[in-house]
Amino acid sequence: MNDAFQVKSDPKLWEKLGMDVARFSGMPPMLTNAYQNIFLSQKNRPEKMAYFDDMVANIHTGRIQEIYDAKQGGKPVIGTFCVYVPEELVVAAGGICIGLCGGAQGSIADAEKILPRNICPMVKSAFGFKVGKICPYFQVVDLVYGETTCDAKKKTWELLDRYVPTHVMEIPQMKRERDKRLWLDEVKDFKAAVDRIAGTVTDFDAVASGIRTINAKRAALQRLNTLRHRNPSPISGKDMLLIEQIAFYDEPVRFARKVHELCDELEERVKSGAAVAPATTPRIMVSGTPMALPNWKLHHIIESSGAIVVNEESCIGTRYYKDLIDEGGTDMEQQMERLTERYMKIDCSCFTPNDDRITQVLKEYEDSGAEGVIDYCLQFCHTYNIEAVKLREACEARGIPFMAIETDYSPDDVGQLQTRVEAFIEQIRG
Ligand code: BJ8
Looking at residues 209-230, what average pLDDT do you find? 98
Burial 150-177 (b: 16+ CB within 10 A, else e): bebbeebbeebeeeeebbbbebbeebee
DSSP state letters, 267-304: HHHHHHT--SS-TTS-EEEEEES---TT--HHHHHHHH
Average pLDDT over residues 360-381: 98
Burial class (CB in 10 A: 0-12, 13-18, 19+), 327: exposed
**Ligand 1 within 6 A of CB of 120:** yes
Q: Whose CA is nearest to atom 10 of ligand 1?
A: 82
Give the residue-averaged pLDDT of 338-351. 97
* pLDDT of 372 over the 90 cut: yes
Q: Measured between alpha carbons, how far apart are the two ends of the chain, in Å? A: 33
pLDDT of residue 174: 97
Q: Is residue 1 scored above 70 in pLDDT?
A: no
Domain range summary for the chain, segments of one domain joined by +:
11-429
pLDDT for position 371: 98
Contact 84 CB / ligand 1 (< 6 Å)? yes
Q: What is the mean pLDDT of residues 17-23?
A: 98
**Residue among 409, 331, 426, 366 at smallest CA distance from 111:** 409
Q: What is the mean pLDDT of residues 149-172?
A: 97
How confident is the model over 12-29, as a mean pLDDT? 97
Nearest residue (by CA) to ligand 1, atom 16, is 120
The verdict on pTM exceeding 0.75 is yes
What is the Å distance from ligand 1's center to 330 Cα? 33
Spacing, Cα 101 to ligand 1 middle (Å): 9
pLDDT of residue 2 exceeding 80, the answer is no
**Which residues contact residue 177 at a Cβ distance below 8 angstroms, ignoring those fewer than 6 apart?**
none
Kindly state the average pLDDT of the residues 296-301. Answer: 98
Residue 146 Cβ contacting ligand 1 at under 6 Å: no
DSSP code, position 81: S
Q: Is 153 in the pocket of ligand 1 (CB under 6 A)?
A: yes
Share of the chain above pLDDT 70, in %: 99
Ligand 1 atom with least separation from CA of 315: 13
Average pLDDT value over all residues in the chain: 97
Ligand 1 close to Cβ of residue 336 (< 6 A) = no
Please tell me the predicted confidence (pLDDT) of residue 25.
Answer: 97
pLDDT on residue 49: 98
The predicted-structure confidence for 28-87, as pLDDT tens digits, reads as follows 999 999 999 999 999 999 999 999 999 999 999 999 999 999 999 999 999 999 999 999
